[in-house]
Amino acid sequence: MKVLKFGGTSVGSIKNIKRVKEIITDGEEKIVVLSAMSGTTNALVEISEFIKNNNSSEAIQRIKILEQKYQEVLYELFESSNIKQEVENYIYLVFEFLKEGVFEKYSELLYNKIVSRGELLSTYIFTKYLNQEGVNAQLLPALEFMRIDKTNDPDDFYIKQNLQRLIQDSLPADIYITQGFICLNAYGEIANLQRGGSDYTATIIGGIVKAEEVQIWTDIDGMHNNDPRFVENTHAISNLSFDEAAELAYFGAKILHPQTVMPARKANIPVRLKNTLLPESYGTLISKEFKGEGIKAIAAKDTITAIKIKSARMLLAYGFLKKVFEIFEKHETSIDMITTSEIAVSLTIDDAKNLVSIVEELEKFSMVEVDNHQSIICLVGHSVVRHHETHRLFKVLQDIPIRMISYGGSNNNISLLVNTNDKITALKSLNSYIFDFEVV
């Protein structure tokens, strides 16, 4: 059994919905995970913002605009029949729910309920479309099996029990469709796996059903060796190990939700990134195999804050770092990069919401400097740290002001911290130094 996930653009137009139907109807049994149609989740987030700010007239206005979009989908995708009537009723109910939500008291739960409607709509519409076209497809409601625990990790036991039960109880089908992104929390309330979380849904399911492969279908032909928004002539990387892909996803390669690799690595299930618009292209295969050597890819992550903590007390003392780390732990803030000298330690965080309290506590025993507007540039490849060509990197660094460098933390990653104003120049010069020398 394979698990295939299709992203927002893949189900974002009538043409693409029809393409997806072609891709999945190859006679093999599969589970298909869908995102919301492109633009829908953003629209729902905006609607929630208007509700939060008590701007009910704008919220209603936006709901009506979105409803219009779904009316168009209904008329273009369905022929007059009972199925069309069922879809029309469903769309009506979803939008009635949203309109009633405008007059409810805003809460996180209301937000979660509102944003969940995108995936509920796309999966219902797509399943009914497949049925209309004679495909034996059944809907598996994610809210009946997908659940996270108190630490926001998937509750594997619950998911397995309930997914198996649902499949057994459902009518036999060639294709099972389910919602990405949405889930229940530990208290049984509607929650989600964070923006872009449908990829994660797919590998969680893949791990549970021991899928032979998980495929993530988007509108780009795999994970690229540099950021195509800033650098020309990037190309898709054919093979990545789980570790390499996890580093790239976390450090900015937008194509994959950062947590996606974890369940696949745990269950050793290959993940293939594919392009819905170019199904015949190879894409990127992520597996436990390490292929190729040297730097394979560069990614960048913005909105990083660097914190330098300086203290004479650090000299020849033990326990100083413990004290520092405990403060970050207390404020539930994770640290990405870290470098130390004998009297100072620099580290980076990407979530600065507790920065003021963290700095206040650090200042009790050290001098603290904070730099905002930083970017981490991450260079990834198997054994990059040891590879004989990696010295090229240091030639490039002469011309780019580097704030921090992390080398040797793992064999697969070298990270640089630069001011965000220097990011594009850094990505371009690293690109020409590294990839123009055909290091394979």
Residues that bind ligand ASP (CB under 6 A): 7-8, 35-36, 41, 118, 180-181, 195-198
Q: Looking at beta carbons only, is 102 or 216 nearer to ligand ASP?
A: 216
Residue 128: CA atoms inside 13 Å, Cβ hemisphere, count? 23
* CA torsion through residues 21, 23, 28, 34, sign: negative
What span, in angstroms and rounded, lies between the C-alpha atoms of 419 and 372? 8
* Nearest distance, CB of residue 171 and ligand ASP, angstroms: 27
266 Cβ partners below 8 Å, 6+ apart? 207
What span, in angstroms and rounded, lies between the C-alpha atoms of 28 and 13? 25
The one-letter code for the residue type at 194 is Q
Burial 312-342 (b: 16+ CB within 10 A, else e): eebeeeeebeebbeebbeebebeebbebeee
| Torsions phi, psi for 10 (to 5 deg) | -65, -25
Residues 215, 198 contacting (CB under 8 angstroms): no
* Nearest distance, CB of residue 118 and ligand ASP, angstroms: 5
Q: Looking at beta carbons only, is 180 or 381 nearer to ligand ASP?
A: 180
What span, in angstroms and rounded, lies between the C-alpha atoms of 118 and 140? 16
Helix, coil or strand: residue 233: coil
Q: Looking at beta carbons only, is 182 or 434 nearer to ligand ASP?
A: 182
* Nearest distance, CB of residue 331 and ligand ASP, angstroms: 26
Closest by CA position to 183, among listed 167, 165, 162, 168: 162
What span, in angstroms and rounded, lies between the C-alpha atoms of 170 and 174? 12
Q: Looking at beta carbons only, is 125 or 314 nearer to ligand ASP?
A: 125
Residues 165, 144 contacting (CB under 8 angstroms): no
What span, in angstroms and rounded, lies between the C-alpha atoms of 58 and 407? 50
* Nearest distance, CB of residue 223 and ligand ASP, angstroms: 16
* Nearest distance, CB of residue 195 and ligand ASP, angstroms: 4
Q: Looking at beta carbons only, is 36 or 191 nearer to ligand ASP?
A: 36
Give alpha helix (H) positions in 133-172: 156-169
- 237: how many CB neighbours lie within 10 A of its CB? 25
* Nearest distance, CB of residue 97 and ligand ASP, angstroms: 17
* Nearest distance, CB of residue 38 and ligand ASP, angstroms: 8
The alpha carbon of residue 202 and the mean position of all alpha carbons in its chain are separated, in whole angstroms, by: 11
* Nearest distance, CB of residue 334 and ligand ASP, angstroms: 21
What span, in angstroms and rounded, lies between the C-alpha atoms of 160 and 147? 10
Q: Which two tokens stand for residue 17?
A: 């919905």
Tokens 């009723």 label which residue? 89
* Nearest distance, CB of residue 44 and ligand ASP, angstroms: 9
Q: Looking at beta carbons only, is 7 or 154 nearer to ligand ASP?
A: 7
* Nearest distance, CB of residue 142 and ligand ASP, angstroms: 12
* Nearest distance, CB of residue 146 and ligand ASP, angstroms: 13
Q: Would you state the torsion angle of the CA atoms of residues 5, 6, 7, 11, taken in this order, to the nearest 10 degrees? A: -150
Q: Looking at beta carbons only, is 197 or 294 nearer to ligand ASP?
A: 197
Q: Looking at beta carbons only, is 180 or 207 nearer to ligand ASP?
A: 180
Q: Looking at beta carbons only, is 179 or 429 nearer to ligand ASP?
A: 179
Q: Looking at beta carbons only, is 8 or 294 nearer to ligand ASP?
A: 8
Residues 373, 419 contacting (CB under 8 angstroms): yes
Q: Looking at beta carbons only, is 173 or 255 nearer to ligand ASP?
A: 255
